[in-house]
């Protein structure tokens, strides 16, 4: 009798427990990282705290699934990121003995560098389903648009039309202009695909197009009102070939939905016309000023010319290259730039307030000064493995060509932006880099898993 009734009782108690356990594991392994993923995306340009909370949720969810995590980090990109982190820690530890007075600053900067190489945590939930990458891009775009709209509303658009430089949520005109440039490039890449996929739904297509035109107007206004020249140079180099390629590849879609594309062009022309006819056009004045500064440096030389943005940057780059020759292999360590500048007699390397600059307005020079040629090669290998494989897949793969095209355009903009500025250790750049590199890496990984990634 007991053996007859024991089996049903066992099934009655065990099977529901197994179901609950399986449901809980699925929530931990799947839903938890996805929640963190989307929290990061929607808070990219509007909340630092929520982004950090979201990233912490991602890491917790992934570490619970330790088998998948340890299987994943054996690929090339995660391994290189781990080697970079180890190299940063060792270099900071050794350099802190030579600079005990700034050891706290050096470890703080090293932690900022390390956080740039943990983007592969962000890629893990997207690798399981690449469609999540599109949701992340969409939420990040909404975050940028809402952040810019909030500051337009708070300070008033007229104030910016009169000459005030617009910096958005991050409060930095150059950085906000760069993020808007990347978003604008993404809209040009994906807009024909949105039209193509929704052409059978006229009402939905119309609403989607209106929303796209509105976002387009906000992004162009953010770029123009920032009066930033560096991101504008990147757009001038990237946009013409991109527009020509998109027009050539989507010529049939353009003729079938000519109205939407005409309105797309008219939106751009209308927004630019409003800014050109505004009370003052500070971007134009800054461009003219740059030409005069270049002419002044060319005529009188770098050291004899007046103090301006061009002469300061050139002297920074010359100073950084000279310092690199003193420590060519492993550099001086992170956080040593200010101390190196205080030891020089070049007055232009000091701010008008008398304090030394904390960076040299060039990512590549900052990299070799801090970590030498070893650090530059090691850090750049992460970037260029993703970039080169995106180019290879773009030439071979037609199904995901837009994804690869957006990665290529974004990385080209990053390369050009890094020539004249160094914001890579700030929280806003870290959030942007984690999203663009994490989603880009997951797209490439999902397309060709057998590659050395």
DSSP state letter for 117: G
pLDDT at 11 over 70: no
Q: Which residues of 18-38 are buried (b: 16+ CB within 10 A; e: fewer)?
A: eeeeeeeeeeebeebbbbbbb
State whether 397 and 435 are in the same domain: yes
pLDDT number for residue 13: 44
User: Whole-model pTM?
Assistant: 0.87
pLDDT band at 29, cuts 50/70/90?
Answer: low
State whether 89 and 167 are in the same domain: yes
pLDDT tens per residue across span 141-158: 999 999 888 887 777 666
pLDDT at 137 over 50: yes
pLDDT number for residue 352: 62
In this prediction, residues 43-68 reach a mean pLDDT of 85
Domain containing 87 equals 75-288+359-447
Query: Torsion angle of alpha carbons 58, 452, 86, 415, nearest 10°?
Result: -80
pLDDT tens per residue across span 253-280: 777 777 777 777 777 777 776 666 654 5
On average, the pLDDT of the chain sits at: 82
pLDDT number for residue 281: 62
- What total number of domains does the chain contain? 2
State whether 249 and 384 are in the same domain: yes
Measured distance CA(385)–CA(424) in Å, rounded: 19
**Would you say residue 376 lies in a domain?**
yes
State whether 165 and 66 are in the same domain: no
pLDDT at 350 over 60: yes
State whether 144 and 14 are in the same domain: no
In this prediction, residues 13-39 reach a mean pLDDT of 64
pLDDT number for residue 12: 43
pLDDT number for residue 62: 79
DSSP secondary structure string, 330-365?
A: T-S-TT-HHHHHHTS--GGGB-TTSPBPSS-S-HHH
pLDDT at 72 over 50: yes
Matching residue, tokens 């775009």: 141
Domain final residue pick, 33, 54, 71: 71
pLDDT at 17 over 80: no
**Would you say residue 332 lies in a domain?**
no
44, 143 Cβ separation under 8 angstroms:
yes
pLDDT number for residue 292: 79
pLDDT tens per residue across span 163-219: 678 888 778 888 889 999 999 999 999 988 887 777 777 787 788 888 888 888 888
pLDDT at 421 over 80: yes
**Would you say residue 302 lies in a domain?**
no
State whether 283 and 431 are in the same domain: yes
State whether 7 and 134 are in the same domain: no
Higher-confidence residue of 324 and 155: namely 324
pLDDT tens per residue across span 282-303: 777 777 777 877 888 788 777 7
Please count the CA atoms within 13 angstroms of the CA of 363 that sit on its side-chain side. 17
Other CB atoms closer than 10 Å to residue 141's CB: what's the count? 19
**Would you say residue 417 lies in a domain?**
yes
pLDDT tens per residue across span 102-123: 899 999 999 999 999 988 888 8
State whether 400 and 280 are in the same domain: yes
pLDDT band at 25, cuts 50/70/90?
Answer: low
**Would you say residue 334 lies in a domain?**
no
pLDDT at 452 over 50: no
**Would you say residue 21 lies in a domain?**
yes
**Would you say residue 316 lies in a domain?**
no
pLDDT at 3 over 70: no
State whether 255 and 163 are in the same domain: yes
pLDDT at 14 over 50: no
pLDDT number for residue 143: 93
**Would you say residue 246 lies in a domain?**
yes
DSSP secondary structure string, 8-20?
A: HHHHHHHHHHHHH
In this prediction, residues 98-104 reach a mean pLDDT of 88
pLDDT number for residue 172: 84
- List all residues 6 or more positions away from 377 whose beta carbon is below 8 Å from its beta carbon: none
H or E element in which residue 60 lies: helix 48-64
Domain final residue pick, 22, 48, 71: 71
State whether 243 and 224 are in the same domain: yes
State whether 81 and 220 are in the same domain: yes
pLDDT at 429 over 80: yes
State whether 39 and 146 are in the same domain: no
**What percent of the chain has a predicted confidence (pLDDT) above 90?**
30
pLDDT number for residue 156: 66
Domain final residue pick, 19, 45, 71: 71
The gap from C-alpha 399 to its chain's centroid, in whole angstroms, comes to 24
Higher-confidence residue of 256 and 431: namely 431
DSSP secondary structure string, 152-203?
A: HHHH-HHHHHTTPPP-TTTT-HHHHHHHHHHHHHHHHHHHHHHHHHTTT-HH
């Amino acid at each position: 009798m007991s053996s007859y009734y024991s089996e049903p009782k066992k099934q009655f108690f065990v099977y529901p427990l197994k179901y609950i356990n399986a449901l809980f594991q699925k929530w931990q392994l799947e839903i938890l990282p996805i929640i963190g993923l989307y929290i990061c995306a929607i808070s990219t340009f509007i909340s630092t705290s929520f982004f950090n909370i979201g990233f912490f949720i991602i890491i917790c969810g992934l570490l619970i699934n330790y088998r998948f995590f340890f299987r994943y980090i054996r690929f090339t990109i995660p391994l290189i990121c781990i080697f970079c982190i180890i190299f940063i820690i060792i270099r900071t530890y050794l350099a802190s003995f030579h600079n005990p007075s700034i050891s706290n600053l050096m470890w703080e900067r090293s932690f900022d560098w390390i956080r740039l190489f943990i983007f592969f945590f962000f890629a893990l939930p997207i690798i399981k389903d690449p469609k999540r990458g599109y949701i992340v891009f969409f939420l990040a775009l909404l975050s940028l648009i809402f952040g810019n709209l909030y500051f337009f509303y708070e300070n008033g658009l007229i104030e910016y039309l009169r000459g005030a430089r617009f910096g958005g949520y991050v409060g930095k005109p150059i950085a906000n202009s760069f993020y808007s440039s990347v978003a604008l490039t993404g809209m040009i890449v994906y807009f024909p695909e949105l039209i193509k996929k929704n052409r059978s739904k006229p009402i939905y297509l119309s609403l989607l197009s209106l929303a796209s035109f509105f976002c387009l107007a906000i992004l162009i206004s953010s770029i123009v009102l920032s009066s930033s020249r560096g991101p504008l140079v990147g757009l001038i180099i990237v946009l013409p070939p991109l527009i020509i390629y998109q027009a050539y590849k989507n010529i049939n879609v353009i003729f079938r939905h000519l109205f939407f594309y005409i309105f797309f062009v008219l939106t751009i022309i209308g927004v630019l016309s409003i800014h050109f006819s505004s009370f003052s056009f500070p971007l134009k004045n800054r461009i003219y000023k740059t030409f005069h500064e270049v002419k002044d440096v060319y005529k009188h030389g770098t050291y004899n010319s007046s103090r301006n943005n061009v002469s300061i940057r050139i002297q920074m780059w010359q100073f950084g290259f000279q310092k690199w020759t003193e420590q060519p292999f492993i550099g001086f360590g992170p956080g040593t730039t200010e101390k190196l500048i205080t030891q020089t007699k070049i007055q232009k390397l000091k701010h008008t307030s008398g304090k030394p600059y904390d960076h040299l307005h060039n990512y590549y020079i900052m990299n070799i000064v801090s970590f030498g040629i070893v650090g530059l090669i090691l850090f750049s290998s992460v970037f260029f493995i993703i970039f080169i494989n995106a180019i290879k897949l773009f030439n071979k793969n037609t199904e995901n060509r837009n994804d690869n095209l957006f990665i290529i355009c974004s990385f080209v903009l990053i390369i050009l932006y890094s020539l004249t500025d160094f914001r890579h250790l700030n929280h806003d750049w870290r959030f942007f880099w984690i999203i663009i590199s994490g989603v880009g890496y997951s797209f490439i990984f999902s397309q060709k898993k057998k590659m050395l990634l």
